[in-house]
C-alpha cells in the first residue's frame, strides 16, 4: 500500500498548525483513552512554541494531499550532560487515518533525527493495551517501565484525616510554601533536594540523571510561567534551614478542574519521618483553600515505587489506568 501522507518537519508552529496538532491529539485521546483529559489548545500551543527545560524539540506533521493534518510527532532532545544520549518521542495519528503507514513514516523521520543527533536511546509512553502499545512493540521498542496513574477526588476526601496529617507536628521541621519560582533564600537548598529525584525507580530505562542547581530551579519556574501554567510548592524545612522534602503541583492554564502532581521527594538523610505524606497532605489542604474549583489531582508512580504508592493510597488516591514506558535502542547506522 502506498503512503497516504507526506511527512514534513515543522520549523515553528503557526496558530493553524497548533490547532491541527491539537485536533489530532484530542481525537486520539478520546478514541484510545476514554475518560482521560486531552491537553487544551492553549497547552498544545505553548508546548510547540515555548522552550522546554533542559531540552530542545523537533517536530513533524503528516499531511494528506489536501493539506489535512493526520499525524504528528515531537522529539525532545535532552541537553543535560548525563542525558545527551537520550530522546523522548510523542507520536500520534488520527484514528481515522491509521493503518496507512502514517505512524511508520513519522517514526522513520524521528529515528533518522536520533541518528543525526547521536541519540542512542529513544523512549516513548503508551497507554497499556492501547494501539500505541501495539505500535511500539511492532516497531522494536521494548517494555522498560510500568506507570500506575492515580487520581484523588477532592470531593471524596476524608477531610478530618487529611487535616490530622497536615497539622501534625514533625519535630525539627516546619512547612513552607510558594507559588512560581523558589524564593532566593531557599534556592540552593531546594535545588539540592531536587536531586533526590534521581533515585526514583525508572525500571530498565536508560534515563540518566539530572543535576539541579539554583539556576536550573529558577529556569524551571520561568519555563512553567512562560507557558501560562502555575507551579505550587510545599516544602519541609529542617531546623538547620535546609529543604528536607517537597511536593509540587502544576495548575494548567485556565484553572481546569484537574491538576497534575509534579515531583515529590524527600532527601535521603531525612527519610523515615513521614515528610512525604506531610507535605502532600499540606498541599491538598492548600489547594482546597486557594482553588476550590479544583476537584481532581492526577499523579503517577512506577509500579515498583512501593513507598510513594503507599503514601498516595493513604491520602485517598486510587489507581485508574496504567501506561508503559518503552525504549528503542537506536543503532548508529
CA distance 162 to 166: 6
Q: How far is CA 233 from the centre of its chain?
A: 16
One domain, residues 222 and 274? yes
- The per-residue pLDDT for 203 is 82
User: Is residue 109 domain-resident?
Assistant: yes
Question: For the domain that residue 312 is a member of, what is the CATH number?
Answer: 3.40.630.30
**DSSP SS3 for 305:** coil
- Check the CA dihedral 69-73-76-77 and report its sign: negative
User: Is residue 182 domain-resident?
Assistant: yes
Number of separate domains in the chain? 2
One domain, residues 166 and 299? yes
User: Is residue 293 domain-resident?
Assistant: yes
Residues of the domain holding 17:
6-119
Instruction: For residue 3, name the pLDDT band (cuts at 50, 70, 90).
Output: low
One domain, residues 166 and 310? yes
Cell (9 digits) for 266 = 524527600
Tens digits of residue pLDDT in 163-216: 999 999 999 999 999 999 999 999 999 999 999 988 888 888 888 888 999 999
One domain, residues 175 and 315? yes
In Å, what is the CA distance from 154 to each residue of 23, 113, 257, 322? 30, 43, 10, 21
Cell (9 digits) for 332 = 548508529
User: Is residue 103 domain-resident?
Assistant: yes
- The per-residue pLDDT for 210 is 87
Average pLDDT over residues 222-231: 93
CA distance 184 to 275: 23
Instruction: For residue 1, name the pLDDT band (cuts at 50, 70, 90).
Output: very low
What does the mean pLDDT of the chain come to? Answer: 94
User: Is residue 136 domain-resident?
Assistant: no
User: Is residue 250 domain-resident?
Assistant: yes
* pTM as predicted: 0.90
One domain, residues 191 and 104? no
Amino acid at each position: 500500500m502506498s503512503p497516504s501522507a507526506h511527512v514534513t518537519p515543522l520549523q515553528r508552529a503557526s496558530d493553524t498548525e497548533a490547532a491541527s496538532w491539537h485536533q489530532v491529539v484530542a481525537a486520539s485521546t478520546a478514541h484510545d483513552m476514554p475518560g482521560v483529559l486531552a491537553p487544551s489548545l492553549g497547552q498544545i500551543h505553548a508546548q510547540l512554541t515555548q522552550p522546554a527545560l533542559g531540552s530542545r524539540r523537533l517536530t513533524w506533521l503528516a499531511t494528506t494531499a489536501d493539506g489535512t493534518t493526520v499525524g504528528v510527532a515531537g522529539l525532545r532532545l535532552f541537553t543535560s550532560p548525563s542525558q545527551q544520549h537520550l530522546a523522548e518521542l510523542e507520536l500520534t495519528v488520527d484514528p481515522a487515518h491509521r493503518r496507512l503507514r502514517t505512524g511508520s513514516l513519522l517514526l522513520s523521520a524521528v529515528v533518522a533525527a536520533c541518528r543525526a543527533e547521536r541519540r542512542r536511546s529513544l523512549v516513548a509512553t503508551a497507554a497499556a493495551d492501547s494501539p500505541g502499545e501495539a505500535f511500539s512493540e511492532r516497531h522494536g521498542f521494548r517494555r522498560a517501565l510500568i506507570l500506575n496513574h492515580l487520581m484523588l477526588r477532592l470531593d471524596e476526601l476524608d477531610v478530618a484525616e487529611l487535616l490530622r496529617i497536615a497539622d501534625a507536628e514533625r519535630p525539627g521541621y516546619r512547612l513552607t510554601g510558594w507559588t512560581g519560582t523558589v524564593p532566593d533564600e531557599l534556592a540552593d537548598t531546594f535545588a539540592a533536594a531536587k536531586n533526590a529525584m534521581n533515585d526514583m525507580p525508572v525500571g530498565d530505562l536508560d534515563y540518566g540523571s539530572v543535576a539541579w542547581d539554583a539556576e536550573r530551579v529558577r529556569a524551571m519556574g520561568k519555563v512553567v510561567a512562560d507557558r501560562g501554567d502555575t507551579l505550587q510548592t510545599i516544602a519541609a524545612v529542617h531546623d538547620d534551614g535546609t529543604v528536607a522534602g517537597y511536593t509540587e503541583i502544576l495548575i494548567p492554564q485556565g484553572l481546569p478542574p484537574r491538576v497534575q502532581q509534579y515531583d515529590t521527594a524527600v532527601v535521603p538523610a531525612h527519610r523515615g519521618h513521614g515528610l512525604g505524606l506531610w507535605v502532600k497532605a499540606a498541599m491538598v489542604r492548600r489547594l482546597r483553600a486557594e482553588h476550590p474549583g479544583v476537584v481532581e489531582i492526577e499523579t503517577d508512580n512506577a509500579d515498583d515505587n512501593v513507598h510513594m504508592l503507599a503514601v498516595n493510597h493513604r491520602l485517598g488516591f486510587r489507581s485508574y489506568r496504567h501506561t508503559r514506558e518503552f525504549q528503542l535502542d537506536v543503532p548508529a547506522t
